[in-house]
Structure 1
Amino acid sequence: MSSILAIIICLLALFTQSQSLSSPTVCIIGSGIAGSSLAHFLRSYSPPNSPPSAARILLFERNGIVGGRMATVTISGETFEAGASILHPMNYHASNFTKLLNLKRRIPPTSMSSFSLGIWNGNKFVFKTLTFEFKNPFVQKIVSFANSLYMLLRYGFSLFKMNSFVEVTVNKFLKYYQSFETRPTFETVDEMLQWAGLYNLTTCTLQEELVNVALSPLLIQELVTVITRINYGQSVYISGLAGAVSLAGSGGGLWSIEGGNWQMASGLINRSDIELHLHEEILSIFNLGESYELNSTKGRSYMCEVTAIATPLDELNIQFTPPISIPERQLQHTHATFVRGLLNPGYFGLQTVSEIPELVGTIEDPDLPFSSISILKRHNETDMTYKVFSRKAMPDSLLDNIFSVRKETIRIDWGAYPHYKAPEVFAPFILDGQHLYYVNAFENAASTMETSAVAAENVARLILSRLFGEVSLSTSYFMSSFSDDELLHAEL
């Protein structure tokens, strides 16, 4: 009798273990593009009726809406991107998400070929492209061509060298879209970058990289500096890979999602069969051996076989037991100030508003109060909506000097991206050697919506392969996402 009872107990134990393996709980912290992409890839890469497909996924977001640093702002009833704003034509994950979710692309009205650019040094415009009030498309093409010649005269063939530098970097990044047969999973960011041939770019500054490819000092001091200040709020002394990504984000073909990029996160979450916990911040994570106990601001506890952090840890106060060790990192704060009103031409030493370029960039000078000012929408000649980027909050007194009219002002302080400093040191994707993962470890290489999705895709593969052993991942989703023509013939 006792032997029969022992057998029953063993069978129950095996059944319980099997149930745990077949339906693990995966907890994801953060609902931005990293967290939503991770949930999506976990579902998409799990073959139907397989153990991974039965996983329970919980997603925690401390705010009341999803999207993280993808957010919008409403001014006078109109909506504009407030956070992550632009996507590159070769952001293939974002492109696929857009198709998958039936979202519409929006081409920014101020593309590189159409907007007027001015580089401000605090006293005058050291460079300003031509502008023409007449909006006839043929005339605009002529003006665009003239501006290209004008830039070539000022910066010479260094422009082509800069484009070549960016193209080489982007082509290396495209390796992350290769099929599973040729692309391994990576446990560290270092391995991931070395495999693609990108690691060395994180060991030097952008300034050093551009000097090595013989860019002119004038181009680096002016145009390149304007781009890095706009895209990362930092100087050309950021690490080389982040700088190259920043330069890629200033080219042609840029786009966004009609109605807001946050819809990618929302759509991926909605179709991934997850339990979404809004207004719930995770305060502590305890490693209990076979699982993790997560405790939240709502006084609740959750048991998770897998925990993935998909938000920067730099300004969070999660208590880890046992403690984890990651390199210290600071976030670069960008202050985005949205103003509906009218710029003051006198501030720029000009006579009329029409003389002010649509995009005002700045050189690197600690005394300059802003990084850039751009027109988001021209309602009429005396009423426009602007976006101002700065490293510090802009007080009303300063705004009243820069603007002659302010009907509405909205300020947002973004902990937007890492403060880049070469050589970069990376946290691992696996924080404890078990099943505690950190998607945002990749941000020290470069921070964009697409790089977050690329990192999330790698972590999803890592989780599935480590949790279920040699389980065969479903490649049907991935291989249908990108055509051979896209990957083999992509050009900047």
Structure 2
Amino acid sequence: MAPWAATLLITSLLLLLSSVTYSSSFSRPHRICIIGSGIAGSSAAHFLHDLGKSTFSPNSLPIEILIFEKRGRVGGRMATVSIGGDTFEAGGTILHPKNFHALNFTSLLNLSTTTGRDDDGVDDGWFGIWDGERFVLETIPQGKSFISKQIARLWNTVTLFRRYGFSLIRMQRFVQGMLESFLRYYEKDRPVFSSVEEMLKWAGLYSLTQRTLREELDDAGLSSLLISELVTVITRINYGQDVSISGLAGAVSLAGSGGGLWSVEGGNWQLAAGLINNTNASLHLHEEIVSVSNHGDYYELNSTQENSYHCEVALVATPLDEVRINFSPPVTLPKRSTQHTYATFVRGFLNPEYFGLSPSSEIPDLVATLEVKGLPFSSVSVLKRYSDKDKTYKIFSRAPISDELLDKLFSVRSDTRMINWPAYPHYVVPEVFAPFMLDQSHLYYINAFESAASTIETSAVAAENVARLILSRLSSSAHVGSRSGELQGVGPENLHVDL
């Protein structure tokens, strides 16, 4: 054989071997392990699966997803409770009409929604604010006919305006400004963010996390009466805290008291269950992860089932405030405490005398309380009316409600359930944020964003960003770009890119 022919043959074989090696390396799936099956974990699985297929087409990024859940169910803080033969939302309950990820999930999964509680005989417009001795404000019930509803709505609007004046409009403007900024996270050309601070500053929301809600509302021109009464009532119900929470968390809380709110019929937990099913992820129930070790090229996850898993990416999708996971090497997080909310469900009948009323008096369908020392609950609301003296109620409180107190609060009580929710962070300004990237490799933390605000939708927004962050860094390390090639060379120091 001529020398040039031998050289050509060797070169061809080397090129063929290189091609086969690259193809084999590229086709091996990236194994991503997700700790937690709530809305953060299930949304992350959805976005990783969806974007991994579409964003990098035709050279799609093959992904294998494992999800670990310590409980025997998915959904995290989205759950239902059965009482008196009916099922009610026990955790994350309401969704805003501009929660576009949740709306898209609902459409994708062919789930039905519900926007009101008329079928349960509940009047959402009938509420009273109680200070521990008397009702300082009370609206009137709407009735059943169209005319009576319109009259009641007009009366209640006038009642609120007479008490709070134009501060109501200023409050609405404050909330609308926050919503307009938050809607930027749905823009098509938004960047990928490597930190919570960067994500908030880009949308113009960071400053709201550095000052209290009271400070923000004072600057917005709201009256002290509105802040101490209606605003405080809303933050106590939605976050179990007063107006000393951050301006952003407070604005999100106020948005959750507006109109058009909805939920998934049958339980919001179905969002998580449906998203996980759609990703074909490997779901490991009753398997709590107790340690995560970085071995350079992979992470080793060890569980309570004495199983060990090797993953290229480890994604924490559960709050680490009260979860005991041993990280090796250790990770450093800013101190953050959890605000526990106790949700107590009672079938029975409220005792009017507890509220200083005559035995024949009617009690509003929502009783909300002010920030007064010694008040044992934040709110009592009717979930379903069976008859005038047979209803199911939900009580929110910061501490467990004793049987002794329940016997005073209710004249009739046939069934009771209590759930202790580690519901959301205890907000303290100025907020300091944990990183999305817990190391310089592939250990990520979605719930760092909860220090800004904690809702179903904010978890989904954070999950989408972290999913894009993971994919951008995986594609960079594999030297695989998108169709336009703009992702090549992306690393932790340069992640402000467009996917």
Fold conserved between structures, TM > 0.5? yes
Match of 1:198 in 2: 205
Match of 2:138 in 1: 128
**C-alpha separation in 2, matches of 1:46 and 1:349:** 61
Structure 2 CA distance for partners of 1:312 and 1:416, relative to 1, 3 Å? same
Are the counterparts in 2 of residues 52 and 464 from structure 1 also a CA contact under 8 Å?
Answer: no
**C-alpha separation in 1, matches of 2:59 and 2:397:** 49
Please give the secondary structure, in 2, of the residue aligned with 1:334.
Answer: strand
Structure 2 CA distance for partners of 1:471 and 1:141, relative to 1, 3 Å? farther
Q: Percent identity?
A: 58
Match of 2:494 in 1: none
**C-alpha separation in 1, matches of 2:45 and 2:394:** 33
Please give the secondary structure, in 2, of the residue aligned with 1:192.
Answer: helix
Amino acid at match of 1:305: E
More displaced stretch, 275-284 vs 137-146: 137-146
Match of 2:321 in 1: 314
Match of 1:380 in 2: 387
Matches within 5 A, 1:235-246: 235-246=242-253
Please give the secondary structure, in 2, of the residue aligned with 1:408.
Answer: strand
Match of 1:116 in 2: 126
Match of 1:97 in 2: 105
**C-alpha separation in 1, matches of 2:438 and 2:295:** 15
Are the counterparts in 1 of residues 127 and 368 from structure 2 also a CA contact under 8 Å?
Answer: yes
Are the counterparts in 2 of residues 308 and 436 from structure 1 also a CA contact under 8 Å?
Answer: yes
Please give the secondary structure, in 1, of the residue aligned with 2:208.
Answer: helix
Amino acid at match of 1:233: G
TM-score, normalised relative to structure 1: 0.91
Say whether residues 1:277 and 2:287 are aligned partners.
no
Provide, for residues 97-148 of structure 1, a one-character-per-residue CA deviation record: whole Å limited to 9, x for no partner: 010000011113279984211001000001111225x411221111011100
Are the counterparts in 2 of residues 114 and 144 from structure 1 also a CA contact under 8 Å?
Answer: no
TM-score, normalised relative to structure 2: 0.90
Are the counterparts in 2 of residues 335 and 411 from structure 1 also a CA contact under 8 Å?
Answer: yes
Are the counterparts in 1 of residues 122 and 365 from structure 2 also a CA contact under 8 Å?
Answer: no
More displaced stretch, 11-20 vs 182-191: 11-20
Say whether residues 1:184 and 2:191 are aligned partners.
yes
Say whether residues 1:29 and 2:38 are aligned partners.
no
Match of 2:179 in 1: 170
Amino acid at match of 1:380: S
Matches within 5 A, 1:122-161: 122-131=132-141, 134-161=143-170
Are the counterparts in 1 of residues 114 and 262 from structure 2 also a CA contact under 8 Å?
Answer: yes
Amino acid at match of 2:67: L
1:473, distance to aligned residue in structure 2 (A): 5.8
Provide, for residues 332-364 of structure 1, a one-character-per-residue CA deviation record: whole Å limited to 9, x for no partner: 000000000000000011124652111010110
Please give the secondary structure, in 2, of the residue aligned with 1:351.
Answer: coil
More displaced stretch, 359-368 vs 104-113: 104-113
Amino acid at match of 2:283: L
Amino acid at match of 2:139: T
Matches within 5 A, 1:266-345: 266-345=273-352
Say whether residues 1:88 and 2:67 are aligned partners.
no
Are the counterparts in 2 of residues 71 and 83 from structure 1 also a CA contact under 8 Å?
Answer: yes
Match of 1:434 in 2: 441
Match of 2:495 in 1: none
1:433, distance to aligned residue in structure 2 (A): 1.4
Amino acid at match of 1:260: G
Q: How many residues align?
A: 466
**C-alpha separation in 1, matches of 2:128 and 2:46:** 42
Say whether residues 1:70 and 2:78 are aligned partners.
yes
**C-alpha separation in 2, matches of 1:472 and 1:105:** 39
- Aligned-residue CA RMSD in angstroms? 2.2
**C-alpha separation in 2, matches of 1:82 and 1:473:** 42
Structure 2 CA distance for partners of 1:382 and 1:474, relative to 1, 3 Å? farther
Are the counterparts in 1 of residues 342 and 421 from structure 2 also a CA contact under 8 Å?
Answer: yes
Matches within 5 A, 1:344-383: 344-352=351-359, 355-383=362-390
**C-alpha separation in 2, matches of 1:473 and 1:196:** 25
Structure 2 CA distance for partners of 1:247 and 1:474, relative to 1, 3 Å? farther
1:434, distance to aligned residue in structure 2 (A): 1.1
**C-alpha separation in 1, matches of 2:113 and 2:284:** 29
1:12, distance to aligned residue in structure 2 (A): 9.5
1:51, distance to aligned residue in structure 2 (A): 5.9
Are the counterparts in 1 of residues 122 and 382 from structure 2 also a CA contact under 8 Å?
Answer: no
**C-alpha separation in 2, matches of 1:345 and 1:30:** 43
Please give the secondary structure, in 1, of the residue aligned with 2:292.
Answer: strand
Structure 2 CA distance for partners of 1:474 and 1:208, relative to 1, 3 Å? farther
Structure 2 CA distance for partners of 1:14 and 1:329, relative to 1, 3 Å? farther
Provide, for residues 211-253 of structure 1, a one-character-per-residue CA deviation record: whole Å limited to 9, x for no partner: 0011000000000000000000000000110000000000000
Q: Which has more radius of gyration? A: 2
Are the counterparts in 2 of residues 342 and 382 from structure 1 also a CA contact under 8 Å?
Answer: yes
Structure 2 CA distance for partners of 1:113 and 1:75, relative to 1, 3 Å? closer
- Unaligned segments of structure 1, at least 5 residues: 476-492
1:50, distance to aligned residue in structure 2 (A): 5.6
Are the counterparts in 1 of residues 123 and 141 from structure 2 also a CA contact under 8 Å?
Answer: no
Structure 2 CA distance for partners of 1:112 and 1:454, relative to 1, 3 Å? farther
Provide, for residues 172-212 of structure 1, a one-character-per-residue CA deviation record: whole Å limited to 9, x for no partner: 00000001xx3110010000000000000000000000000
Counterpart pick for 2:69 among 58, 61, 71: 61
- Unaligned segments of structure 2, at least 5 residues: 1-9, 485-499
Structure 2 CA distance for partners of 1:474 and 1:138, relative to 1, 3 Å? farther
Are the counterparts in 2 of residues 105 and 255 from structure 1 also a CA contact under 8 Å?
Answer: yes
Counterpart pick for 2:21 among 15, 20, 24: 15
Structure 2 CA distance for partners of 1:58 and 1:407, relative to 1, 3 Å? same
Please give the secondary structure, in 2, of the residue aligned with 1:45.
Answer: helix
**C-alpha separation in 2, matches of 1:17 and 1:360:** 64
Structure 2 CA distance for partners of 1:301 and 1:126, relative to 1, 3 Å? same
Match of 1:39 in 2: 45
Please give the secondary structure, in 2, of the residue aligned with 1:26.
Answer: strand
Please give the secondary structure, in 2, of the residue aligned with 1:355.
Answer: coil
